[in-house]
């Protein structure tokens, strides 16, 4: 609960000021920045040894979600035909819910009664972040801006 409470603060603050900062940046670039913040926060969380590093991890995670969430919805609107934007947004919400379910399920799958085993779920998260980052870099390099 503490982690979620702390990460919500930068998430809200970034969303308030986010639009002007990344308005003229490709969605892929903004998502890549979010992936970097997310990766840093998870690596810090895995290696946390104090309440300070735990809090810093939560703050960085909040920056990542504050950047990625509005970017995903804006990108969805960009890619959806105007008459199907509601369907596009609904699909993104379903994907987000599936991500939450997969994250919870992976924690249940890997947890064996010790807090150190939770890191296995975080390693899966790192793998998925790196996969997303590679895809975003590919899009930035090879797919022209729409």
d(C-alpha 83, C-alpha 37), whole Å: 34
Closest CA to 72 of 135, 109, 101, 30: 30
* pTM, to two decimals: 0.87
As given in the structure block, the two tokens for residue 122 are: 């975080």
Contact 57, 44 (CB under 8 A): yes
How much is the pLDDT for 35? 97
CA distances 107 to 2, 10, 48, 114, Å, are 18, 25, 18, 12
Number of C-beta neighbours around residue 16 at 10 A: 9
pLDDT digits 0-9 by tens, 6-65: 999 999 998 888 766 766 788 999 999 999 999 999 999 999 999 999 999 999 999 999
CA angle, 14 as apex, 4 and 142 as ends, to 5°?
Answer: 105
More confident position, 111 or 13 = 13
More confident position, 145 or 88 = 88
DSSP per-residue codes, 61-93:
HHHHHHHHHHHHHHHHHHHS-GGGHHHHHHHHH
CA angle, 18 as apex, 14 and 19 as ends, to 5°?
Answer: 155
As given in the structure block, the two tokens for residue 22 are: 């990344």
């Amino acid at each position: 609960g503490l982690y979620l409470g702390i990460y919500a603060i930068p998430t809200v603050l970034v969303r308030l000021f986010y639009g002007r900062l990344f308005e003229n940046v490709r969605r892929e670039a903004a998502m890549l920045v979010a992936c970097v913040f997310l990766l840093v926060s998870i690596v810090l969380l895995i290696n946390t040894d104090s309440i300070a590093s735990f809090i810093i991890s939560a703050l960085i995670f909040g920056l990542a979600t504050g950047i990625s969430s509005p970017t995903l919805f804006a990108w969805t609107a960009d890619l959806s035909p105007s008459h199907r934007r509601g369907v596009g947004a609904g699909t993104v919400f379903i994907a987000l819910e599936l991500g939450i379910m997969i994250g919870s399920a992976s924690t249940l799958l890997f947890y064996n009664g010790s807090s150190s085993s939770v890191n296995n779920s975080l390693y899966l998260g790192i793998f998925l972040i790196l996969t997303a980052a590679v895809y975003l870099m590919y899009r930035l390099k090879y797919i022209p801006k729409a």
